[in-house]
Amino acid sequence: MGQTIMELQERTKEILQVCRNHRLSIKIEKCVFHRQEVEYLGLIIKPNHIATDPTKLKGILEWPLPKKPKDIHRFLGFCGFYRKFIQGYSQITRPLEKLKQVKAIWEWSKEAQQAFDTLKERFSNPSMLLVPDKTKPFILETDASLEAWGAVLRQYDHNGELKACSYLSKAFNPAERNYQIYDRELLAIVRALETWRHYLLGTPHPVTIWCDHQNLTYYKNPQKLTPRQQRWHLFLSQFNIHIMHVPGTKMIQSDALSRWPGYNQTEEEERITMLPENAFGHDPDPDYLIGDNYGYSNDEDIIQISVIDTELQQKIKKGLEEDQIAQQVIKGLTEKELTPLKQELAGWKYNDELLSFKNRTYIPANLELKQELLKLYYDLPSQGHPGIFGTTANIQRYFWWPGMHAFVKSYVQGCALCQQMKVNTHPSAPPLAPIKADPHAYPFSTVTMDFITDLPESNGYNALYVVVDHDLTKAIVLIPCTKTIDAIGTARLYHDNVYRRFGLPNRIISDRGPQFSSQVFQEMNKRLGVTSSMSTAFHPQTDGQTERTNQEIEAYL
């Protein structure tokens, strides 16, 4: 490619020279030179523009009606190559995507037929995309609905007209559809920046982001962020971006990418206005937590529960008056001015003389009040003593206080009834039987031995050979050695340092180390008349005396 004829000729000569140097042949019938329009991999490349190849799209327009899920796979696989030319591709193909699932029941519905026809119609007149130029400013349009998100990457062409460089859309998964509208809009920005990162990262000009959610313009302000939002903000910090609010009526293309004409907007999808300090969360009204209408049945038991909740509500209000921390929070929430304290109280609300945190009623620091709450959710026969985690889960649906889990744990562990009825599921360990000493023992007639390895190297040694008199004196002999010592070396150390002073033992107690369990060591003991007693595998308590000695030596070292 070249901006002028001379530049194009020079580059063509360079390419041909490289082919000659490497003895690569080119078929002249397949070569074209000095063209301003080239067909390449199903695309038509023009000066500053990229378009689809009409001959390739002809196959889509003539595609027969799918009869089975495999036909849907083929059709969408072919269309997916050109999805960046089609506005709202993910939302259009959503009914078809459901049909290609393995467990889906094959039923060609009106929605599927409409999606199939609409996709063909869009491919009959696809958009022409502008080739991105990193030296010019980029404009990124994003929008999100309840079902999908969409984005358009734009730049101004040489005529000063705003053109699309690429389209992008994708349906939300079930978890993402549960996000609040703020998080869905922010996720659309994050996904668009991830996809076009090679264009937008390190650009000389700030990337302007147009979105119709005004709260996103406060994303750089200090906020109380969730862990998910913190990860997204860390990713956004890589880019030089500026978010601008543009009404949805002026963002036709990106808005259309995330919405389908047959999609009816729900109440959740309506735009909401919040203060900047609350821009990162939308909390519903907590009036439902405690109220007079908690008991809604004529049943006698439920009416009694309603009465208890009303009394509890009054006790909570009274307890708030004696809780100094709660009074500071209430004071910060009721101040009209936006103070630093008020910014730190994101998630707190004060309504109807009740204080709530993240939609859960705050329980003041009152021991009797907390114990009464535990009686309602743990001691009542209808609750069935659900245990620590079950009780905590039931209470934290409606209430919260600092250290709630620890308080519930202490209360449950002190329940006498639960301790009486508790079933021990752990098998009882058999009692340890000590090794009896020989009443006719002499020093080192019964010895225990082991190795302490991986010590700091000193004079070429990095281990200790430990020999202990088991039956009589409990004396200890420490012999320096190396970690790689074998059975013959162990026998030589015992002969030179223990046998010469105390004679031959009657019994040797050891673990199943390779030095003691080797055939050489066992055969030597057999010929000398020494009984070898090795401990059970993975049960060091069998040779507890040596293990305890090793602990003392290691602590000293």
Q: What is the pLDDT of residue 286?
A: 38
Q: Where are the beta strands (DSSP E) in 323-408?
A: 348-351, 354-357, 360-362, 399-400
Q: What is the pLDDT of residue 309?
A: 64
The CATH superfamily of 35-124 is Reverse transcriptase/Diguanylate cyclase domain (3.30.70.270)
Contact between residue 283 and residue 351 where contact means Cβ atoms under 8 Å apart = no
What separation in angstroms does the CA of 145 have from each of 150, 179, 180, 243, 258? 9, 11, 11, 19, 6
Q: Tell me, rounded to whole angstroms, the distance of Cα 432 from its chain centroid.
A: 46
Q: What is the pLDDT of residue 223?
A: 67
Report CA dihedral (224, 229, 230, 232) to the nearest 10 degrees.
-150
Give the residue extent of every domain in the chain: 1-34, 35-124, 129-278, 300-421, 446-556
CATH of domain 446-556: 3.30.420.10
Neighbours of 525 (CB within 10 A): 17
Q: What is the pLDDT of residue 125?
A: 67
Rounded CA-CA distance 122/378 in Å is 61
Phi, psi angles (nearest 5°) of residue 540: -65, -15
Tokens of 227: 């862990």
Q: What is the pLDDT of residue 315?
A: 86
- The fold of 300-421 is Endonuclease III; domain 1 (1.10.340)
Phi, psi angles (nearest 5°) of residue 402: -60, 135
Rounded CA-CA distance 214/243 in Å is 9
Rounded CA-CA distance 199/509 in Å is 72
Rounded CA-CA distance 146/264 in Å is 10
Tokens 């007693």, residue located: 533
CATH of domain 129-278: 3.30.420.10
Q: What is the pLDDT of residue 55?
A: 67
From first to last of the 557 residues of the chain, give the pLDDT tens digit: 667 788 888 888 999 999 999 988 888 888 888 777 777 776 777 777 677 766 666 677 777 888 777 888 887 777 777 677 776 677 777 777 777 765 667 777 888 888 888 777 777 666 667 788 888 899 998 888 888 888 888 888 877 778 888 888 888 888 888 888 888 889 999 999 998 888 888 888 888 998 888 777 776 665 677 888 888 888 888 888 888 888 765 554 455 445 544 444 443 433 333 333 333 333 334 343 344 443 333 433 333 333 346 778 888 888 888 888 888 888 888 876 656 666 677 788 888 788 888 888 889 888 888 888 888 888 887 778 888 898 899 888 888 888 999 999 998 888 888 877 777 777 776 777 778 888 888 999 999 999 999 999 999 999 999 999 998 899 999 999 999 999 999 999 999 999 999 999 999 999 888 999 898 889 888 989 999 988 877 777 777 888 888 888 888 87
Phi, psi angles (nearest 5°) of residue 435: -80, 120
129-278 shares its CATH topology with 446-556: yes
Q: Model pTM?
A: 0.37
Pair type for strands 463-469 and 399-400: unpaired
